[in-house]
Amino acid sequence: MQRIYFDNSATTCLDPKVLEAMRPYFDQWYGNASSLHALGRESYNALDEARRKTAKAIGAQAREIIFTSGGTESDNLAIQGAAFANSSKGNHIITSTIEHHAVLNTCRFLEGQGFKVTYLAVDPHGKVDPESLKKAMTKSTILVSIMTANNEIGTIQDVRELGGIAHDAGALFHTDAVQSIGKVPLDVTRENIDLLAMSAHKFHGPKGVGALFVRKGTNLRPVVYGGGQERGLRSSTENVPGIVGLGKAIELSMAEMTESVEKMTSIRDRIIQGTLSSVDDCNLNGPLEGRLCNNANFRFDYIEGEALVLSLDLKGIAASTGSACSSRDSETSHVLKAIGVRNEHARGTLRVSLSRMNAMDEADEFLGVIPEVIARLRAISPMSMLKKPSSPGG
Ligand code: PLP
């Protein structure tokens, strides 16, 4: 069976060119980047090159890039690091209710350490209102952390404006850009960003490696202590093959960004329009405009998202119920709750997430099976009893 992979917000496949670039650093150039001999120097140079490529992709300088183990660690280093390093200036942090748990749970941890956190509500499309950020800023606000784009419903925030508001009040601005690399053009200076988190496996790089942009002069305390690698901000022997993979993956994503955004947008739009027009009692979660080019998130009444994902899997289509990390627990998604979706409607959610590797005929195959799968699930669903009988003639 030819499989269709529509779960790219959970993770992406490794680009074969990335694997090729990484391979010599497993078996040939295995030196520790801190060693003085030739093997060590080769590793050091490879890190240097990956750092330059990563910096270039976001308009930063190479020395402003700190390599980490992924998006979660980058978010932790940004938020904990900025909070503890700046606690003499204030103890207030602002974030939003729809952040990834890497941000939300870090903020909750900091609340236990005496910090005060404001969780900004979002509108029904998942947007943070800049006015509400302005109102929430206080003299003791040291950090604002708002994601560039949401991993479940794809809403893109106006980070430039939000970052400007944080800066006007003397606070640092962090953005979780894990879902945005290669999809949303980002320049850290234009966008008023001091800290930016990314993760290689979301853009056809390897799992377990990420980066944090730390603007020069930003006060940050490490989370991991040890040998002082990564300018003392992230001790531990560098994952050289992984970092080389991140560098290659971001270089490829940037080189192909214009065409791949165009391609993903047209596949996404075909999927959204085709699904909404062929299935009754179906709604789109998140906005039509200002949404990630690779994200479609639907709500199908009277069915369970898990049953839908498993039925699609049997047809060779991999998608997910919501975010990757919440799809194995049955809690209603905090993002859907935040945009006002009622519990009974949040149950039948399906996230379709694309990458530049997808093709338009895969959208057509999906559209060919979705009405029939939904109809079959509704026919056996006790929730269908809730459906109001349609009026005669209607
Ligand atoms: N932030 C966002 C928005 C994400 O979507 C994810 C992963 O799904 C993360 C952070 C965590 O990234 P990682 O899996 O690399 O730790």
pTM: 0.96
Write the CA distances from 90 to 116, 255, 341, integer angstroms: 9, 41, 35
Q: 191, 220, 253: which is the final residue of a domain?
A: 253
Read off the pLDDT of residues 86-98 as tens digits, 9 standing for 90 and up: 999 999 999 999 9
Residue 62: how many other CB atoms lie within 10 Å:
15
Query: How much is the pLDDT for 330?
Result: 59
Using a 6 Å cutoff on CB, does residue 355 contact ligand 1? no
Q: Is residue 390 part of a domain?
A: no
261 and 118 fall within a common domain: no
Q: Which amino acid is at 253?
A: S
Query: How much is the pLDDT for 331?
Result: 75
| Angle at the Cα of 100 from the Cα atoms of 98 and 103, rounded to 5 degrees | 105
Best residue among 178, 196, 320, 335 to mutate for probing ligand 1's pocket (most ligand atoms within 8 Å of CB) is 178
71 and 94 fall within a common domain: yes
Q: 234, 253, 272: which is the final residue of a domain?
A: 253
136 and 57 fall within a common domain: yes
Query: How much is the pLDDT for 393?
Result: 44
Category of 23 on φ-ψ map: left (φ > 0), alpha (ψ -120 to 50) or beta: alpha
Structure confidence at residue 323 as a pLDDT band (50, 70, 90): low
Distance CA(315)–CA(129), nearest Å, equals 41
Full domain range(s) for residue 105: 16-253
200 and 271 fall within a common domain: no
245 and 100 fall within a common domain: yes
Query: How much is the pLDDT for 289?
Result: 95
189 and 335 fall within a common domain: no
User: Could you write out the DSSP letters of every residue in 253-300?
Assistant: HHHTHHHHHHHHHHHHHHHHHHHHHHSSSEEESS-SSSB-TTEEEEEE
Read off the pLDDT of residues 79-123 as tens digits, 9 standing for 90 and up: 999 999 999 999 999 999 999 999 999 999 999 999 999 999 999
Read off the pLDDT of residues 22-54 as tens digits, 9 standing for 90 and up: 999 999 999 999 999 999 999 999 999 999 999
Mean pLDDT of 350-377: 98
CB neighbour list of residue 185: distance below 8 Å, 6 or more residues apart: 257
Distance CA(382)–CA(136), nearest Å, equals 44
- Report the residue count for the chain: 394
Q: What is the CATH number of the domain that holds 76?
A: 3.40.640.10
User: Could you write out the DSSP letters of every residue in 21-37?
Assistant: HHTHHHHT----TT-SS
Considering only CA atoms, which of 354, 53, 106, 349 is closest in space to residue 223? 106
Using a 6 Å cutoff on CB, does residue 71 contact ligand 1? yes
Best residue among 9, 68, 156, 199 to mutate for probing ligand 1's pocket (most ligand atoms within 8 Å of CB) is 199
Read off the pLDDT of residues 133-172 as tens digits, 9 standing for 90 and up: 999 999 999 999 999 999 999 999 999 999 999 999 999 9
282 is catalytic: no
66 and 176 fall within a common domain: yes
Mean pLDDT of 377-386: 82
Write the CA distances from 228 to 75, 155, 216, 234, integer angstroms: 19, 37, 18, 7
CB 229 within 8 A of CB 218: no
Query: How much is the pLDDT for 325?
Result: 47
Distance CA(174)–CA(193), nearest Å, equals 6
Q: 200, 235, 253: which is the final residue of a domain?
A: 253
Distance CA(30)–CA(19), nearest Å, equals 15
CB neighbour list of residue 341: distance below 8 Å, 6 or more residues apart: 285, 299
298 and 159 fall within a common domain: no
* Helix/strand/coil percent split, the chain, to 5: 40, 15, 45
Using a 6 Å cutoff on CB, does residue 179 contact ligand 1? yes
How far is Cα of residue 259 from the mean position of the Cα atoms in its chain? 21
Structure confidence at residue 326 as a pLDDT band (50, 70, 90): very low
> How many percent of the chain have pLDDT more than 90?
92
> Which H/E stretch holds residue 353?
strand 349-353
